[in-house]
Amino acid sequence: MTAAALEVEGVRLRVGEVGVSEFALDLPILRLQPGERIAVVGPSGCGKSMLLEFLALLMRPERVDRFVLATADDDRRDLAGDIAAGRIDALAHLRAGPLGYVPQSGGVLPFLTARAHASSGLRLAGHAGNPVARARFDRLAERLGVGAHLDKTREQLSGGQRKRVALLAGMSVPRRVLLADEPTTGLDAASGTAVMELLSRLAADEGTAVLIATHDADTAYRAGFAVRPLEHGAFWHEALQVVF
C-alpha cells in the first residue's frame, strides 16, 4: 500500500469553558492517501473548521498520539511531540511546502497586489525564479479566472476574486496535503464548480491529498470528492469508511 500523505491518530480537540460553552471533537483515526479527495460536511458549529485548523497546525489539541506528514517521497515525520508540547510555531514552515491551507476567510493582504499575495508560496519555497513553477502558477490563475486581475490590489477585486486569489495562494506550489475551508463560499455556481473541479484535478494530476470542509456537498460529489459527514463530535476516516 502507498504510504499515507497524512496519518493522524488519537486526537481530542476541545474549545470553550468546561461545562459551560465546551465543544469537543474526537478524531480516532484519519489517513489520507496521495490523490485522495475528501469533502467533510455537516451543520454549522459541528467542528469542520476546527478540524482543518488542527490539521493545518494552527491549533494545539488536548491529545494527539500520532501526526505523521509526508514531507517528501522518502520522508515522513511524526509531529505529535511538537504539537502536544505546543511548539506549533516551529512547524509553520511546513505550510510553505508540503501542507497547504486555505482558511474560510482567506483574502488578499491590503498592502500587496493579488500576484504578490498569491505567489508568496513560490518565494517561500524558493521557486520564484523557476520557469516551470511560474508556468504552473499562471495556468492555475487562468483556470481560477483571476489571471487578468493579478496586478490589482484588494480594493480593486470583488469578493469572489479575492476568494479565488486566496485559493491560488494555497495551490501555488505542489502540496502533499491541501486543506481548504469552504472553498466555494461567496462564489457563483459556475465559479464554485470550477474551483471544485480544479481541486479534484490537482489530486488526480499531482497526487495531492485534498481535504475540504464544505456546505456544498452536491458540487463536491460531482467533482469526484468522497463526501463524509462530521457529526456527534467525532470523525473517523479509514479507507473511505466513517464510524461514529
DSSP 5: S
Asked if residue 231 and residue 120 are part of one domain, the reply reads no
Listed residues 174, 197, 229: the one ending a domain: 174
Residue 197 pLDDT exceeds 50: yes
Last residue within a domain, chosen from 174, 189, 223: 174
Residue 12's H or E segment, with its range, is strand 6-15
In sequence order, which ranges of 181-244 are alpha helices (DSSP H)? 189-206, 217-222
Q: Are residues 145 and 85 in the same domain?
A: no
- Render pLDDT for 128-176 as a digit per residue (tens, 0 to 9): 888 999 999 999 999 999 999 999 998 999 988 999 999 999 999 999 9
> Residue 220 contacts by C-beta under 8 Å, 6 or more apart in sequence?
39, 41, 196, 212, 214, 227
For 58, the domain range is 1-98+175-243
Nearest to 208 by CA among 240, 166, 180: 180
In terms of domains, do 195 and 170 share one?
no
Please indicate, yes or no, whether the overall pTM of this predicted structure exceeds 0.85. Answer: yes
CATH code for position 37: 3.40.50.300
Q: How confident is the model over 85-129, as pLDDT tens digits?
A: 999 989 988 888 899 999 988 677 888 899 999 998 888 878 888
The total of structural domains in the chain comes to 2
Tens digit of each residue's pLDDT (9 = 90 or more) over 60-75: 999 999 999 998 767 8
Q: Looking at the structure, do residues 48 and 93 belong to the same domain, yes or no? A: yes
